[in-house]
Copies of this chain bind each other. A is one copy, B any other.
């Protein structure tokens, strides 16, 4: 029985982030840095994405970019102003820019990226007065799980390099 998968059941923000974590797992299974994202609209997931940069040799194939492209395709519109995006890792500048471009309403972040994140770490570009759209942000949703999957991945990488 998977109660959270039953259509119409009350889906919490944690449930959506768990789905983003499942996407991150898919990335890990492909030896990609494990980052995953989903986009919700009217309480449903309308797009999923995970990092496929190395596998497909395309630096633009971050989890969020794939999810944004799919959501626009599914809704038949580039405007995602009624959509929320859940991502396991704080977005880089490209992905944050894509959220501004696509008018994402709200962003839920799992764990922060002190080196390249621009939702507060290196910069905060999602609430800048100068841009024509601001994205609401909530931080630390399933932070421990979202952080752990990255830690495990990089530890494994280091072990592999040593052997």
Chain A contributes a number of interface residues (CB within 8 A of B) equal to: 37
Tell me whether A60 and B53 are in contact (CB under 8 A). Answer: no
Known A-B contacts A122-B131, A132-B115; the reply to A78 vs B57 at CB < 8 A is yes
Q: Are B78 and A68 in touch, CB under 8 angstroms?
A: no
Question: Which of the candidate stretches A13-21, A33-41, A93-101 sits at the interface with the other chain?
Answer: A93-101
Q: Tell me if A5 is interfacial: C-beta within 8 Å of chain B.
A: no
Stretch touching chain B among A22-30, A69-77, A136-144, A147-155: A69-77
- Expressed in whole angstroms, the minimum distance between the Cβ of A95 and any Cβ of chain B is 7
Q: Note all chain B residues with C-beta closer than 8 A to A95.
A: 94, 97
User: Given known contacts A53-B78, A58-B73, A60-B68, is B96 in contact with A93 (CB within 8 Å)?
Assistant: yes
Give the residue of B68, B93, B128 whose beta carbon is less than 8 angstroms from that of A122. B128
- Which residues from chain B contact A60 at a C-beta distance below 8 Å? 60, 65, 68-69, 98, 101-102
Q: Nearest 3 A-B pairs (CB), nearest first?
A: A94-B97, A93-B97, A59-B78
